[in-house]
Amino acid sequence: MNTNSNAYTVIYTTIVVVLVAAILAFVSQKLGPMQAANEKAETVSQILTAAGFGEKEHWAEIGNKATLDFYKENIESSILVDIDAQQVGNLDGSAAQVYSTSQLKAQNYNIKDGSSLQLPVYQFKNKVMVFPVYGAGLWGPVWGYIAVADDFKTIVGAYFDHEGETPGLGGKIKDDPSFRAQFAGKVIDLSDEKPFSIVKGGAPEGKANAVDAVTGATMTSKGLDAAINTWVAAYGKTLLSGEAVNAFVEAVNECTDTTAVKEVLEETLKTVEE
């Protein structure tokens, strides 16, 4: 065959393209499960870090299997709830099933357009509950996890990540432990117009539901602030239900007769419905 002919060029190019495509498909097929496993372990490690079980570096050191095994041993329930705090599904804790960032992105769209929601709630045996947040930073998506104590409002810890925020600036939401450390001990105040605030220039002294923004990263901080408040609003009835149950139990313990218990129950149900 004439190697200088157009036919030869077309045939040669076609063979090369087909071979490259076949190789890429083979590699993708082989590496796909490994990549999925790494993504799951990364997500689980972020949830565990937020819940206060260890720093992110710890999970990297012990590896994927040990991280997933720890999660399986300590998770009590992992469910999906809707906007009305009704359970609409389950995640298999024994298999360390968690929502991926792509699934969080889909739920974020649903929150904004009013579609039906399936929001994950991770409840651990130590009574710490973790829920995710997702939104837009300066250069791409930001997301993370917030852990609350069994009063459903006091923050135990948090962990945040991003796709493309500027290193040393917006990237500090992930890389600067001091930023995340601010969240521990703060509260989600559903009675406030903004349940939680990330404040440029510094949170007001004594404000329990606010932390300092990242210096020099105004847009990233605003994006994370919006993400937190958007998702807290979506989880609002879930958090309020937990608070109401706690208040009910406390009030019942103080009651001295059945009539008082009935009144407390009626008030609790009214609070949950509102």
pLDDT by residue (tens digit) across 143-173?
Answer: 999 999 999 999 999 999 999 999 999 999 9
Residue 97 and residue 53 in one domain: yes
Do 49 and 144 have their domain in common? yes
Query: What is the extent of the structural domain holding 256?
Result: 239-274
Q: Does 29 reside within a domain? A: no
Q: Is residue 197 part of a domain?
A: yes
pLDDT for 22: 61
User: 250 and 220 in one domain?
Assistant: no
Residue 6 counted as domain residue: no
Residue 241: the pLDDT is 87
Rounded CA separation 203/187 (Å): 13
Say if residue 145 is in the same domain as residue 76: yes
Residues 77 and 192 in one domain: yes
Reduce the secondary structure of the chain to three states and give it as a string. CCCCCHHHHHHHHHHHHHHHHHHHHHHHHHHHHHHHHHHHHHHHHHHHHHCCCCCHHHHHHHHHHHHHHHHHHHEEEEEEECCCCCEEEECCHHHCCCCCHHHHHHHHHHHHHCCCCCEEEEEECCCCEEEEEEEECCCCEEEEEEEECCCCCEEEEEEEEECCCCCCCCCHHHHCHHHHHCCCCCECCCCCCCCCEEECCCCCCCCCCEEECCCCCHHHHHHHHHHHHHHHHHCHHHHHHHHHHHHHHHHHHHCCCHHHHHHHHHHHHHHHHC
Look at residue 242 in the predicted model and tell me its pLDDT: 77
230 plus 252 within the same structural domain: no
* Residue owning tokens 């995340």: 180
Task: Please tell me whether residues 143 and 179 are part of one structural domain.
Answer: yes
**138 lies in some domain:** yes
Please indicate, yes or no, whether residues 159 and 39 belong to a single structural domain of this protein: yes
- The answer to whether residues 125 and 247 belong to one domain is no
Whether 161 and 261 map to the same domain: the answer is no
Whether residue 26 lies inside any domain: the answer is no
Same domain (yes/no): 186, 51 = yes
Q: For residue 5, tell me if it sits in a domain.
A: no
- The count of other CB atoms within 10 Å of the CB of residue 66 is 13
- Which of 50-54's residues contact partners 24+ apart within 8 Å by CB, and which partners? 50/130, 50/144, 50/145, 50/146, 50/147, 50/156, 50/157, 50/158, 50/159, 51/122, 51/124, 51/128, 51/130, 51/145, 51/147, 51/156, 51/157, 52/128, 52/147, 52/156, 52/157, 52/184
* Structural domain contains residue 45: yes
- In this prediction the pTM is 0.81
pLDDT value for 23? 62
pLDDT the model gives residue 89: 96
Looking at the fold, whether 110 and 166 belong to one and the same domain comes out as yes
Q: Domain count of the chain?
A: 2
pLDDT tens per residue across all 274 residues of the chain: 555 666 656 666 777 666 666 665 554 555 456 677 899 999 999 999 999 999 999 999 999 999 999 999 999 999 999 999 999 999 999 999 999 999 999 999 999 998 899 999 999 999 999 999 999 999 999 999 999 999 999 999 999 999 999 999 999 999 999 999 999 999 999 999 999 999 999 999 999 999 999 999 999 999 999 999 999 999 999 999 876 555 434 544 555 555 554 554 455 455 545 5
